Structure 1
Amino acid sequence: MLTTLAIANYRSIRKLIIPLSQLNIVTGANGSGKSSLYRALRLLAFTAQGRLIAALADEGGLQSTLWAGPETISAAVRQGMHPPQGTRRNEPVNLKLGFCTGQLGYAIDLGLPSPSASMFGADPAIKRECIWSGAFLRAAGLLVDRKNWGVHTRAADGSWRQMTENLSPFDSMLAELADPHAAPEMLTLRELIRSWRFYDHLRTDIDAPARRVQIATHTPVLSADGASLASTWQTICEIGDADGLKEAVSDAFPGAMVGVQPVGNGLQIMMRQHGLLRALSAAELSEGTLRYLLCIAALLSPRPPALIVLNEPETSLHPDLLPALARLIIKASGESQIVVVSHSTRLVAALEREGGATTIALEKEYGETLVQGVHTLEQPSWRWPKRRTGLRRLDRPQLFLSQQ
């Protein structure tokens, strides 16, 4: 379970260190930074998939995703004595992401690329990556350390051994390196991160893939857009919690039953509702009903991941379905850590009341995303790894670390 999430200089987040529990709700007004926090979690997941730099490019590049405010916000500004003003930077340009599980921690620091003749000079460069043991980074707990091109691991006797000295600045060590003997912690974190699942684009429109007949194949994990709904549903029936499926449907739609019907070499979802003479196919279901079925398939997977992140799962749902959705999420939190991003007060209240969820209420102050009612001193302990300064590579004369 993630115990701490740390983000610095990403969009509206200047510096945020958040404690996490088994079930978490991220809420707040529109524009408070919920989407920024969600995207930051996605970026962390991309590190282990080798897609981090590409994901930043999709967002407009590093310069478009950096915190746009001043490096520090003075007390005078917060008291309204004068407007925010730019000052001379004390730190190099950076975007930093990290988390801790209590046993292992990870942090990555991205910055401006070193001057070179490359036509990819706008790509951000990974300046530092660290894996450590314990609740926060300390020198004695550092296990794997990447500085620019070089990656070193700590041996059992406390000495440092080189894994590579030629890692590309756009490649994360989590995605590129694997040595179960020299760095088992790296493999542990890689598999942990790769198990995370994000659901923010479950399609329920008239042309949604979930409404069509799908090829019959074992599918224990619902696809990100929900296209594999019928196959996932049948897989859960055969190797997962079939009774849980029935209970979840009955909780939201009393008297209704959902099954899977073969069509040629494919499958389609069929729903029989109380009072109707025939079952309805997925193509005939309302957007709200289809979305709820998608949530059931996502949350009752026979292969529960370490983390599930749901972005506004209440979209298209009737308010009367929100208590049932909350109970479904609470049940799933018994197998996976869950983060729900939502602005539905009814869903938030149900998760708090029935599931004891930790609520992270965000707000904006001078453009900066903050957690309501949490002082800096009340945040979890966290230390960012520092960059090595003044380093030059003599064997690469075209690259200079003038940007540290």
Structure 2
Amino acid sequence: MIRRLAIDGYRSIRSLVVDLGALTVVTGANGSGKSNLYRSLRLLADCGAGRVVPSLASSGGLAGVLWAGQESIDPAVRAGGEAQGTRRKGPIALRLGFGGDDLGYAVDLGITASRSESLFVRDPSIKQEHVFAGVEPRPAATLAERVGPLARSRGDDGWHELSRTMAEWDSLLDELAGADAAPEIAGVRRTLRSWRFHDALRTDALAPARQPQIATRAVRLDDDGANLAAVLQTTIETRADGTVERAVRAAFPGSRLEMVDEGGGLGLALRQHGMLRALTAPELSDGTMQYLLLTAALTSVERPGLLVLNEPERSLHDDLLPALADRIREAADETQVVVVTHSRSLADALAGTRIELERSAGETVVAGREGPLDVPAWRWPSR
């Protein structure tokens, strides 16, 4: 499990460290920073896929995502005064990290050194990466690290050099995942690549989920939901516990799913009580499609290491929220789940580890924290 998440210098998040549970619910008012926490998790996953540099470049570069407030917020600003520019003491940095039961990872991204000589001015530079044991980065727990162009790993007999020519856009997780001397690098990479995200699943009239699909087994839901019918049917045939059928009955009493051949493609239909024929995917309401898409994500044969749902309540009537909460809690018995939600009803029904965010002097903070002693331990490696 991912036990601890740390974010430093991202949008409204100046510095945030939170502990995660098997099921974590992130709530807060509009503008409190929930989406920024969600995007930070996605950026961490991009590190495992070798995409973090282009992902940040596509967002306008590091300058477009950095914390925009004071490096250290003045008491006068917290009391309602205007923020004033001050001389920066620390480096310009976006830092992301997580700690887990076994391994953790921290990355430090900064301004590209060759900015004045390059046309790739939006690309950030990877300054440091650390792979460590446990929930927080400590020097004694470090197993592998990259500082500038130098990468090394720790063995029983001390440090071993892995590379001294790492480019500023190369990631330790991408370039050295196959290093025999540092299997922990591959372990962190696998962990990050096992994370799955579902955000704004399409349910409009032209949504891929409403179209016939190739009839081939699918063990996880595509980002656009295009393989919805295949995922549900694969789960139905693979799991003998009736998970999908129970999910449908809980939300739509007296109804059952049917898979139909639509011109050689696999289509989805819902047969409801009292109707003479089943309604096909193009006929179903947005809320019904949303619920079926979430059911596919939560019950798929492949169980991700971490499943993150952003505002899953979209398009759902309040009457469907108890059934959705049941599906999420069941999934959390097998997979770690993070739910980011505006819905107080859904958050209350889920229980789990609760993180309520709010804004204080412009920055995202955890509501109810009274001081530094309330913050989980985390110390970023210095440059």
TM-superposed CA distance for 1:104, in Å, is 1.6
Question: More displaced, 262-271 or 283-292?
Answer: 262-271
- Map of 1:364 onto structure 2: 359
1:14 is matched with which residue? Answer: 14
For 1:22, the aligned partner's letter is: A
Partner of 2:183: 184
Q: CA deviation at 1:140?
A: 1.4
Unaligned runs of 5+ in 1: 388-404
More displaced stretch, 111-120 vs 327-336: 111-120
Secondary structure class of the residue paired with 2:192: helix
Q: How many residues align?
A: 381
* 1:287-326 superposed matches below 5 A: 287-326=286-325
User: What is the match of residue 253 of structure 1?
Assistant: 252
Write the distance in 1 (CA, Å) between the matches of 2:122 and 2:28: 33
2:364 is aligned with what amino acid? Answer: T
The DSSP-based 3-state class of the residue aligned with 1:198 is strand
Q: Which residue of 1 aligns with 2:268?
A: 269
Tell me what 1:402 maps to.
Answer: none
Q: How does 1:79-98 map to 2 (within 5 A)?
A: 79-80=79-80, 82-98=81-97
Alpha-carbon distance, 1:218 to partner: 1.1
> Residue 163 of structure 1 aligns to a residue in which SS?
strand
The alignment status of 1:285 with 2:281, answered yes or no, reads: no
Task: Give 1:135 deviation, angstroms.
Answer: 2.7
Q: Please give the root-mean-square deviation of Cα atoms over the aligned residues, in Å.
A: 1.2
| 1:179 CA displacement | 2.9
Q: Paired residue for 1:400?
A: none
Q: TM-score, normalised by structure 2?
A: 0.97
* C-alpha separation in 2, matches of 1:156 and 1:264: 62
8 Å Cα contact 2:133/2:142 also seen in 1: yes
Superposition deviation, residue 316 in structure 1? 0.2
Task: Tell me what 1:41 maps to.
Answer: 41
Q: Deviations over 1:329-376 (max 9, x none)?
A: 000001110000101011011011xxxx11111101111000100233
Q: Does 1:138 align with 2:133?
A: no
> Match of 2:67?
67
Q: Distance in 2 between matches of 1:137 and 1:345?
A: 34
- Structure 1 length as normaliser, TM-score? 0.92
Amino acid at match of 2:188: L
**8 A Cα contact 1:201 1:224, kept in partner:** no
The residue type paired with residue 367 of structure 2 is Q
Deviations 1:227-260 (A, max 9, x none): 1101111111122356000110011111000121
Equivalent residue of 1:214, what SS?
coil
> Which of 345, 359, 372 is the aligned partner of 1:376?
372
Are 2:32 and 2:359, in contact at CA under 8 Å, matched by a contact in 1?
yes
* Structure 1 counterpart of 2:5: 5
How far does residue 103 in structure 1 lie from its aligned partner after superposition?
2.5
The 2-side partners of 1:327 and 1:86 are apart by 49
CA deviation string 1:176-213 (max 9, x = no partner)? 22235211111111111101000003110010011111
Q: Distance in 2 between matches of 1:240 and 1:52?
A: 35
Distance 1:119 1:209 in 2: 37
Identity %: 51
Report the Cα distance in structure 2 between the residues aligned to 1:172 and 1:241, rounded to whole angstroms.
Answer: 42
Is the 2:106–2:137 Cα contact (8 Å) retained in structure 1? no
Structure 2 unaligned regions, length at least 5: none
Q: Deviations over 1:57-111 (max 9, x none)?
A: 121111010000010112232223x322111111010000000003221100000
Question: Which residue is equivalent to 2:121?
Answer: 121
Letter in 1 for 2:360: E
The alpha-carbon deviation at position 150 of structure 1 amounts to: 1.4
Other-structure match for 1:397: none
2:197 partner SS: strand
Alpha-carbon contact 2:98-2:136 (below 8 Å) kept: no
Q: Give the SS at the match of 1:66.
A: coil
| Aligned amino acid, residue 338 of structure 1 | V
Alpha-carbon contact 1:309-1:339 (below 8 Å) kept: yes
Moved over 3 A (4+): none
Deviations 1:107-126 (A, max 9, x none): 00000111352222331100
Q: Secondary structure at the match of 1:383?
A: coil
Secondary structure at the counterpart of residue 248 of structure 2: helix
